Structure 1
């Protein structure tokens, strides 16, 4: 196997000169650099990437942790992150906690041992902030607060809640059901006897920021005198749980005239409404929250609050590069606006 010593001998230079050229470091004249490059070509020398990365204390690999890649939101997000990382010469190592069953501990351990340059944490975590801050390596939280000094990126979920509220109030809704994940996920929130969730502490630092759209929507609907319910569905990877929740919802509340849920929940709702011989939106308004490709594939084009995946992925990767390269971190976090896309009712 050809090594750097062989290249140095062929080029007539020192081993340290070859090392500087290979690693792109130090001051080497153009003539010397060309001699080394010519020797490498003549010998078909391939630099040892592992050794080069160790020289720079870089692996050029970033871990992305999501709950499951089966979910259209996280599949779309992961694709965007991989594209943005690739454009910066970085590889993506994907961890799906629900699908692998190992959780994030394995990846955190790899980060501690410098086997990757950083982690984008996009899965729900129950670890306390001091767990994440003690790692001391580049981490970016996506839609989660991980601790002081750790950058975070997410959508403006309070804006999303207001957009939905304005729409439903304008359309004359009287009884709205919000269908989402188990309330126990909101471990820094208190649950009332009726199942509603209330912020109890750290109003800016909830570990599950998407709950803000439920809270905002609930508040605005109650101000308008509109009845609302929060219905628990299964975990994020439990698609059947969404279908079951929708069936039980309409069995329990026959007067519900609007349902708000994730793209998957909204798609399940449309199917349940059709199964019962009702119409969307004439009998039941259905609003999806995420705006992935699934909102065009539910049997009709759904009204949706759309998260800006390009901006979310681009901002998360920009913050990761800041962390890797030691630039100052904005502790306030990045909040990306959402938009409301109403369905074309003329096609129904």
Structure 2
């Protein structure tokens, strides 16, 4: 195997000169640089990327932790995030906490040992906030609140809930069923005893998405529209969505249910099941999807959806990760006062869009 010593011998320069050229660090004259590059080309020398990264204390590798890659939402988001990170010269290492035992812990350990440059955390965690802040490495949260000093990127879920409520009220809905995950997971701090049950503070939840559910519920209740919530299980429990949809549709004839709101996968299940039961959409039942992934076109009817801007969310997460890495490098280099690291935007909310379909009036 050809090494730097071989290149140095071929070019007639010192080993340190070859190292400076390969690592792009330090001054080397143009003549010396050309001799080294010609020798590398003649010998078909390929620099050791791992060694070069260790030299710069960088891996250009970012871990992305999601609950599962089987869910269309996380598949869509990670595809956009991988593209956004690649444009910044960063590669993606994907971890599904459902499909990999202790994946979250392993990734944090890799981050602590500088085997990756940062983590984008998109999965539920039972660790308290001081666990994440004590890592002192670049971390960006997506739809999570992990602790002070860790940026949280996500959609404006209050706006999303309001868009759905205003449309259903305008369309004359009388009994709306929301299908989603376990409600106690959204109120995790109260369940864990970190806040009082009776005085839940939205600012303390680790799930910003709870604002979508609560805003929708409050808006409908204020308008006198009946509202109920049916739990579908964890995000990866597709069978749970089937059961929840079946229960909701049982209420069309008995309880006057005339609208269902769920994630894209729940809404898609709902349309297919309703059509199989002979329930007319949207005349008897309106269906609204929340997310706006590719499933909105694959349900048998074009789903009306409140769509998240995956491209903008991913770009914001990537930008924050790049800034976090740069801040860490600046701090390590004892940056002068005129090169103070750029401060973070602690919470970034990306606007959502109502996309009309065939499943609402």
The two structures share one fold, judged by TM-score above 0.5: yes
Q: Give the distance between the partners of 1:145 and 1:190, measured in 2 at CA.
A: 15
Q: Give the distance between the partners of 1:220 and 1:68, measured in 2 at CA.
A: 32
Which deviates the most, 325-334 or 271-280? 325-334
2:289 corresponding residue in structure 1: 288
Partner SS for 2:203: coil
Q: Residue 164 of structure 1 contacts residue 217 of structure 1 at CA under 8 Å; is this kept in 2?
A: yes
1:136 corresponding residue in structure 2: 136
Q: Residue 151 of structure 1 contacts residue 331 of structure 1 at CA under 8 Å; is this kept in 2?
A: yes
Q: Residue 189 of structure 1 contacts residue 198 of structure 1 at CA under 8 Å; is this kept in 2?
A: no
List per-residue Cα deviations over 1:152-194 (Å, max 9, x = no partner): 1100000000000100110011111111001121244658xxx
The offset of 1:331, in angstroms, is 4.6
Gap change, CA 1:294 and 1:339, over 3 Å in 2: same
Structure 2 gap segments, 5+ residues each: 192-196, 328-340
2:212 is the alignment partner of 1:213: yes
2:222 corresponding residue in structure 1: 223
2:41 is the alignment partner of 1:60: no
2:334 is the alignment partner of 1:334: no
Q: Give the distance between the partners of 1:286 and 1:99, measured in 2 at CA.
A: 31
Q: Give the distance between the partners of 1:20 and 1:199, measured in 2 at CA.
A: 61
Gap change, CA 1:236 and 1:299, over 3 Å in 2: same
Q: Give the distance between the partners of 1:337 and 1:199, measured in 2 at CA.
A: 28
1:31 corresponding residue in structure 2: 31
2:20 corresponding residue in structure 1: 20
Q: Residue 138 of structure 1 contacts residue 320 of structure 1 at CA under 8 Å; is this kept in 2?
A: yes
Q: Give the distance between the partners of 1:233 and 1:198, measured in 2 at CA.
A: 25
The equivalences for 1:6-155 within 5 A come to: 6-155=6-155
The equivalences for 1:138-287 within 5 A come to: 138-188=138-188, 200-201=200-201, 203-252=202-251, 254-287=255-288
TM-score, normalisation: structure 1 = 0.94
Gap change, CA 1:123 and 1:199, over 3 Å in 2: farther
How many positions carry a matched residue from both structures? 341
Q: Residue 150 of structure 1 contacts residue 329 of structure 1 at CA under 8 Å; is this kept in 2?
A: no
Q: Give the distance between the partners of 2:346 and 2:53, measured in 1 at CA.
A: 32
Q: Give the distance between the partners of 2:45 and 2:13, measured in 1 at CA.
A: 16
Q: Residue 175 of structure 2 contacts residue 258 of structure 2 at CA under 8 Å; is this kept in 1?
A: yes
Q: Give the distance between the partners of 1:198 and 1:225, measured in 2 at CA.
A: 24
Gap change, CA 1:285 and 1:61, over 3 Å in 2: same
List per-residue Cα deviations over 1:8-43 (Å, max 9, x = no partner): 122122211111110011111211111111111111
Q: Residue 188 of structure 1 contacts residue 199 of structure 1 at CA under 8 Å; is this kept in 2?
A: no
Q: Give the distance between the partners of 1:140 and 1:345, measured in 2 at CA.
A: 36
Q: Residue 117 of structure 2 contacts residue 138 of structure 2 at CA under 8 Å; is this kept in 1?
A: yes
Partner SS for 1:104: helix
2:330 is the alignment partner of 1:316: no
Q: Residue 72 of structure 1 contacts residue 292 of structure 1 at CA under 8 Å; is this kept in 2?
A: yes
The RMSD of aligned alpha carbons is: 1.8
Structure 1 gap segments, 5+ residues each: 192-196
